[in-house]
Chains A and B, each alone.
Chain A
Amino acid sequence: MSAPEEKHAEVQRYLEPGIEEHHGIVPAWLKLVYLVMAIWMVWYLLKFWTNHG
């Protein structure tokens, strides 16, 4: 198992309700979404901050 997968597989348990959760990873496709959205945000703010073109 590679390092990120090992990290993902770590399980925390909340004793009372019996809920468990993986430490987890951020999938590559979501990282790409974050990047694209961040670039788009900066572009849109700069281009449309005012309506003077």
Chain B
Amino acid sequence: MNIATTAPNRDDELVNKALVLRFMTAAAFWLVFAPTVGAIVSIKFNFYDFLGGISWLTWGRLRPVHTMGVIFGGFSTAVFGLTYYIVPKLSGTRMYKEHWGNTVFWLWNIGLVVGFVSLMLGYNSGIEAGEFPLWVSIPVEIVLAMISIQVLMTLKHRREPRLYVALWYLTAGYVWTTLNYAFGHFILPYSMPGINNAAMHGLYIHYVVGLWITPAGLGIAYYFLPLAAKQPLYSHKLSLIGFWSLAFFYPFVGTHHYIYSPIPYWTQTIAIVTSMMLIVPVWTVVQNFYGTFVPNWRRFQESYPAKFLVIGALWYLLGCFQGSTEALREMQRLTHFTDFVIGHSHLTVFGTFVIWATAGMYYVVPRLAGRELYSVKLAQWHWWLTVCGFSVMAADLTLSGLMQGSMLQTGTDFVDSMSAMKPYWFIRTLAGITMDIGAALGMWGLYKTISSGKPLVAPQAGGALPDPIRS
């Protein structure tokens, strides 16, 4: 990897630049690969026999490659790399056992490749958001445990006495997920039969979303928010309310997938209540976001990290409001088994957290590479194609879901309701391809920034580097 070293930078003292940039490169690849698989899967809705004659390219095998690819391939690889940047910076000391990072990188990425090949060959654990077979889950668990130890021990040896809220979220996310992944893969499949298994499965899925994707994404967003806005964070107090309300309410949310099922009524009620109560952390975070950005709103025009953070916060608000309200029994009756749920999951996982991770990548890559952004044009295309494509996709899935739910409630035959979805599925595919092209252009731009961007040079010896990503 070719890193420009002409410009001095404090990052040299704390951050393993080569490791972080290697993670960024891998994340860039997975963030193109996984959504592309999603686009291919979506084409199958429009042309039922598309790639249907090849067993390893059938819908049932590619769909988990898409979902696991986005969650663990794209998002998590970016988070790991950004963790190796954020944690030392906020702790004021280098990462504990820094050389473990190389083992983590290779174990993780080889594990992902083996995992996706296994899924395409038909080896699937049958646990949603945890489809990797056992021989992949073991290295994944080892990776999670290794990074958790690194983060915790780095905090123990930190020089900065206070813990910024990004560290709260990241640390909690790693610890929770190390436990949850072990629970979902090594305990759940072997110890709980019947409806209990389904209920616990619901908890596992939502712990992946709410106790990994959410805190990891918020950790990243909180770190880059004041830096991208060039403003102090609006409120430390709000950041703590957001963290603790998430930690308190989220553990009970998972069983909202089983409303009207045989699991006890009171557990369904608790899931509904806690789902709705997530309005507290979500609205708190959004207030903190926009409270930070509004005093320096021009940064939204100037900075690509700022653009991605702001649009991610908007989609976070919308997606989480969907998620809270769809848990209500009346809304569940309308939306269950419809594309409304798919719209919600895309708004939150991609629209919010992948987008926030992308903001982090745009901030970190030029600075660590010591190079200007390779092409502002590519970043512009990335931004606009993502905003346009994803907005259409989210609206399309949400509206088609409501429409299908209404049809089913009024007695329309299920097959007829599916036929009515065809135009919406076509729009979804076009919107998805639009997003994928945007992601491919943006990630190519980041890769080229690392490999051949113009070196950044400080105006004076030892001075601050210029902002590498102004449009």
Shortest Cβ distance from residue A49 to the other chain B in the assembled complex, whole angstroms = 5
B176-184, B227-235, B394-402, B451-459: which lies at the interface: B227-235
Given contacts A24-B238, A26-B238, A30-B283, contact A14 B90 (CB under 8 A): yes
**Chain A residues with a Cβ closer than 8 Å to the other chain, count:** 29
Residue B277 at the chain A interface, CB threshold 8 Å: yes
CB distance from A53 to the nearest CB of B (A): 12
From A19, A25, A34, name the one whose CB has the most chain B CB atoms within 10 angstroms. Answer: A19
In this assembly, does B36 line the interface, its C-beta being within 8 Å of a C-beta of chain A?
Answer: no
Chain B residues lying within 8 Å of A40, measured Cβ to Cβ, are: 276
Give the contacting residue for B287; candidates A17, A27, A48; CB below 8 A. A27
CB distance from B66 to the nearest CB of A (A): 34
Output the nearest chain B residue to A40 by Cβ-Cβ distance: B276
Interface check A3, CB cutoff 8 A: no
Q: Which residues of chain A from 26 to 53 have any CB-CB distance to chain B below 8 Å in the complex? A: 26-27, 30, 33-34, 37, 40-41, 44-45, 48-51
Return B286 CB to nearest CB of chain A, in Å. 10
Inter-chain contacts of B104 with A (CB < 8 A):
none
Q: Does B99 contact A (CB under 8 A)?
A: no
Q: State whether A15 touches B160 (Cβ < 8 A).
A: yes
Cβ of A19 and Cβ of B223 under 8 Å apart?
A: yes
- Point out the residues of chain A lying under 8 angstroms from B238, CB to CB: 24, 26, 30
A26 to B240, CA, bound (A): 11
The answer, among B92, B233, B234, B241, for a CB contact under 8 Å with A16, is B92
A17 touches B223 (CB 8 A): yes
A21 in the interface (beta carbon within 8 A): yes
B89 within 8 A of A: yes
Q: Which residue of B lies closest to A27 (CB)?
A: B287
Q: Can you give 19 contacting A-B residue pairs, CB < 8 Å?
A: A15-B160, A16-B10, A16-B89, A16-B92, A17-B89, A18-B227, A19-B223, A19-B227, A21-B233, A21-B236, A23-B235, A23-B236, A24-B233, A26-B241, A33-B283, A37-B277, A40-B276, A44-B272, A48-B269
Query: Assuming A21-B239, A24-B234, what are 18 further A-B pairs, CB within 8 angstroms?
Result: A12-B162, A14-B164, A16-B90, A17-B89, A19-B223, A21-B235, A21-B236, A24-B235, A24-B236, A24-B238, A25-B237, A26-B237, A27-B287, A33-B280, A33-B283, A41-B273, A48-B269, A49-B269
**Which 9 pairs of residues, A with B, have the shortest CB-CB distance?**
A24-B235, A21-B233, A20-B232, A24-B237, A17-B89, A51-B265, A48-B269, A21-B236, A16-B92
Taking beta carbons and an 8 Å cutoff, which residues of B are in contact with A? 10, 14, 86, 89-92, 160, 162, 164, 223, 226-227, 231-239, 241, 265-266, 269-270, 272-273, 276-277, 279-280, 283-284, 287
